[in-house]
């Protein structure tokens, strides 16, 4: 990988989104947050490229609404 892919790139995105929501069903907020953290770490490990991971962190942070 040489750059962060931000264009739609998931086969069956609606199906994946439904699967993601289903994985969170009946979890407490803390359990859901922990599931998200584990998922992020698993995917980060799969990507492996530190430059891509840093770019992803930067892009996600920039997309986060600022607190006032």
Please report whether residue 12 resides in a domain.
no
In this predicted model, what pLDDT tens digit does every residue of 47-65 receive, in sequence order? 999 999 999 999 999 998 8
Number of domains in the chain: 1
**3-state DSSP helix/strand/coil % of the chain, to nearest 5:** 65, 0, 35
The answer as to whether 32 is a domain residue is: yes
Give domain status of residue 65, yes or no. yes
- Between 57 and 1, whose confidence is greater? 57
**Domain membership flag for residue 2:** no
Look at 30 and 67; give whichever has higher pLDDT.
30
Secondary structure class of 63 (helix, strand, coil): coil
The pLDDT assigned to 65 comes to 87
Q: pTM to 2 decimals?
A: 0.84
Range of the domain at 53: 27-68
Q: What is the pLDDT of residue 1?
A: 56
Give domain status of residue 19, yes or no: no
Domain assignment present for 56: yes
| Domain presence at residue 39 | yes
* 14 vs 10: CA distance, rounded Å: 9
CA distance 68 to 65: 9
Mean pLDDT, rounded, for 39-48: 97
User: Taking the mean position of all CA atoms in its chain, how far away is CA 1?
Assistant: 17
Q: CA angle at residue 24 from 21 to 30, to 5 degrees?
A: 140
């Amino acid at each position: 990988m040489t750059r962060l892919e931000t264009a739609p790139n998931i086969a069956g995105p609606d199906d994946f989104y439904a699967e993601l929501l289903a994985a969170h069903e009946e979890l407490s907020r803390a359990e859901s947050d922990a599931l998200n953290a584990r998922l992020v770490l698993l995917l980060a490990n799969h990507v492996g490229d530190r430059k891509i991971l840093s770019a992803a962190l930067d892009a996600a942070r920039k997309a986060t609404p600022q607190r006032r």
